[in-house]
Amino acid sequence: MAESGANSSLNALSQQLAAAVETAGPVIVSVDARPRVRTSGVIWREGVVVSTNHTVRRDEDITVTLRDGREFPATLAGRDPATDIAVLRFESEEAAAADVVYETGGVGALRVGHLVLAAGRAHPSRGVTASFGILSVVGGEWRTWRGGEIDRLIRPDVSIFIGFSGGALLDTEGRIIGINTTGLARGAGLTIPAATVNRVVDGLLQNGRVTRPYLGVGMQHRVPLPEKLREKFNLPQASGLMLLSVEADAPADKAGLMIGDILLTLGGKVVADSDDVQAVLRGKEVGAVVGAGILRGGEVKEVEITLGERPARKRRA
C-alpha cells in the first residue's frame, strides 16, 4: 500500500532529524569531571573540547571519552564562569570532524518555532542521546548575572536531561548552533551561541581566562537631572547614573570618582543605566583610557579612567 502524504512527510522529517544527530555525533563527547555523573562536551577545534563551567568541577584528573569508547586524559585550559564555559585540551588523531558546521553566521536567521535538537553523551556506553523541540525564545545580545556577554538569547524548548549541559544544540541539518547549559538561568536550559563560544575559547586558550574591563562602582539608574542644570550645561539627557559606592583602588577610585557623583557620559556616549555602561565597556580593552563626564556639586567635570581587569566574581560595572 502506498504511503500517505502525511506519513511520508513525517518519515522524511524523522530521517532528517536522525541524520542531523549522526552528522554531529562524532564531535559530541563524554566528560568525566565531577563526582558520580558525567557531563557532555563538544570537540570545538582539534584537540579542544568545550563544556560547561558548572559541570566541570575538577581542575585535574579529567577524562574525555570519544564516540568509539576511547578515553583520553584532558587538561583544563581555562574556565569562564561569566559565560559558563570550560575549555579542555586533549590529544587525539581524530579530534576534528571536517563535515561538522559550527553555526556562527546563520544564527541571525533563527526564529521562534524553528525545530532543534539537543545532543549529549553523558553515558559513553549508550552513545549519543538527543531530545527534540523548538526554539521558544530568540532575542538579541544579553548579559549574564556574572557579567558575561552573550551574543544572542537562545532558549530551546527541549529536555535538557542530566548530563546534557555541555552538549550541542543542533538545527535540522546537524549544524551546531551552540552549547547547551542549565547554569545561566536558574536551571532552565539556554544555549550559548557558537559566536560567543568562539570568543571565549580564544581568550581561554590564549590567557587561561577571559579579561573584562570594569569601573568598580555601584550605581543608581536613571536619576533625574534638574531642568536648570540641563539648560545651563546643555545636557541632552534627562537622567544619569548616581554613584552609590566606589570600590577602593578600583579604576573609578583611582580616577577620583566619589560617592554622589552622577555619571553622564562614558567614552563619549550618554549613559543612563548599567546597560549603557556595559555597552561602552564591551568595546574596550583592559588598560584603555576612557573619558567620563560627571555632575558634581552642580558643576560638570571631565575625568579620565584607566580601565582595570574585572576581578573574579565581580558583578558591578
pLDDT, tens only, 28-85: 999 999 998 999 999 999 899 999 999 999 999 999 999 989 999 999 999 999 999 9
Q: 172 forms bridges with which residues in the sheet?
A: none
Residue 1's pLDDT band, with cuts at 50, 70 and 90, is: very low
The mean pLDDT value for 273-293 works out to 87
Burial call 34-47: b when 16+ CB within 10 Å, e when fewer? eeeebbbbbbbeeb
Percent of the chain with pLDDT over 90: 63
pTM: 0.78
290 to each of 152, 194, 240, 246, 308, how far by Cα in Å? 27, 30, 17, 17, 11
For residue 97, pLDDT over 60 is answered with no
Q: Do 180 and 189 touch, CB atoms closer than 8 A?
A: yes
Q: Sketch out the chain's domains with CATH numbers.
A: 5-206 (2.40.10.120), 213-309 (2.30.42.10)
For 298-316, the pLDDT digits (tens) are 899 999 999 988 876 554 5
- The pair phi, psi for residue 190, each rounded to 5°, is -130, 165
Distances (CA, A) of 125 to 17, 38, 50: 22, 12, 21
Mean local confidence (pLDDT), 242-255 = 94
Q: What grid cell was written down for 152?
A: 544572542
Share the mean pLDDT of the chain. 89
What pLDDT is recorded for position 107?
67
The answer on pLDDT for 121 being more than 90 is yes
Cα gap 119→168, rounded to integer Å: 5
The C-alpha atoms of residue 199 and residue 196 are separated, in whole angstroms, by 5
**Rounded to an integer, what is the distance from CA 98 to the centroid of its chain?**
25
What pLDDT is stored for residue 311 in this prediction?
A: 76
Most confidently modeled range among 122-131, 146-155, 287-296:
287-296
Cβ atoms 224, 241 nearer than 8 A: no
Q: Is the pLDDT of residue 277 over 70?
A: yes
Residues 134-193: tens digit of each pLDDT: 999 999 988 887 778 899 999 999 987 888 999 999 999 999 999 999 999 876 899 999
pLDDT above 90 (res 205): yes
pLDDT above 70 coverage of the chain, percent: 92
The DSSP line for 162-211 is TT-TTSEEE-TT--EEEEEESTTTTT--EEEEHHHHHHHHHHHHHHSS--
pLDDT attached to residue 283: 73
> What pLDDT sits at residue 106?
64
- Residue 274: the pLDDT is 84
- More confident of the two residues 212 and 110: 110
